[in-house]
Amino acid sequence: MVLKKIMKRCLVIAGLLLFGLSANADFVQLDTDVNMNNFWEKSGKDTQKILDVHSKILNTNKLNKRVSIVLYSAPKTINAEAHYMDKSIYVYTGILPYIDNDDELAALISHEIAHCIDYYDGPLKLFTMELNSKDYELKADSIAIDMMVKAGYNPIAAICIMNKLSGESVWDTWIFSSHPKGSTRMMNMYKYIYKKYPDALNSDMVKNINYQNFTYSSQKELDEFKLKEKLRKNKRDESL
Ligand SMILES: [Zn+2]
């Protein structure tokens, strides 16, 4: 009887061990999907994309100032920011799901590069920037469009990503918000593109759902601006 009991226990233990080993074997098999050949491809795709687009913007614009960039793991932070102390850009991982293509990523990075370039002018400039933050945001948006075009990206993407991420503050004064309203920034970008890079307004990207949403929500301002431009053009033609 005792021998039978011991044998039964041995069988149970053997079974548990076998089950444990097979479960463990499954786990090991899954883990081996990552090997030395695909390690970087699997672990660093998003970082690689950010580094590539960043370098492309810096080099094609032949910027003579250094600006570094890091992808910072913070899934709940939907932001990117420029740091004065070391002229670096932090892209938080929480913003990645909102970026649909290289052009939109280029818009985001170019804007932060524009801030970093200003930071090189020293603490007095930083103080001026803090006091006139809205003006400097609009300025960075325009410079970002120049950088994007020079690097071969479509500037319409700047409006697409802005439409997704920028809100409409109730309190649009300096004390309450450092950034202008999203609609103000998008109109500023549109006017800049209209005057400097009109070809972009005939590109396929104007069919993008976020760009279309901008045209619906800013219809009144767009119509007023286009009418003004038309009148200005007619007046100029008459005087020629
Ligand atoms: Zn900014």
Confidence check: pLDDT of 23 > 50:
no
Per-residue pLDDT of 64-109, as tens digits, reads 999 999 999 999 999 999 999 999 999 999 999 999 999 999 999 9
| Residue 46 CB partners (closer than 8 Å, separation 6+) | 71, 93, 96
Residues comprising the chain, all counted:
240
Is there a domain that residue 107 lies in? yes
Is there a domain that residue 16 lies in? no
CA of 208 to the centre of ligand 1 (A): 24
Confidence check: pLDDT of 18 > 80:
no
pLDDT of residue 221: 97
Q: What H or E segment, with its residue span, contains residue 90?
A: strand 88-92
CA of 220 to the centre of ligand 1 (A): 26
CA of 141 to the centre of ligand 1 (A): 8
Helix (H, G, I), strand (E, B) or coil at 69: strand
Is there a domain that residue 123 lies in? yes
Is there a domain that residue 108 lies in? yes
CB atoms within 10 A of CB 212: 13
Is there a domain that residue 127 lies in? yes
Is there a domain that residue 11 lies in? no
Range of the domain at 88: 44-239
pTM for the full predicted model: 0.81
Is there a domain that residue 13 lies in? no
Average pLDDT over residues 158-179: 83
Is there a domain that residue 33 lies in? no
Helix (H, G, I), strand (E, B) or coil at 68: strand
pLDDT of residue 120: 97
Q: What does pLDDT average to over the chain?
A: 88
Per-residue pLDDT of 44-72, as tens digits, reads 789 999 999 999 999 999 999 999 999 99
What is the number of domains present in the chain?
A: 1
66/156 Cα distance (integer angstroms): 26
Residue closest to 197 by CA, chosen among 137, 162, 157: 157
Query: Which protein residues have a CB closer than 5 Å to ligand 1 (ion)?
Result: 137
Identify the DSSP state of 207.
Answer: G
CA of 217 to the centre of ligand 1 (A): 22
C-alpha triplet 150, 223, 161: angle, nearest 5°: 40
Q: Computed over its alpha carbons, how large is the radius of gyration of the chain?
A: 27
CA of 115 to the centre of ligand 1 (A): 7
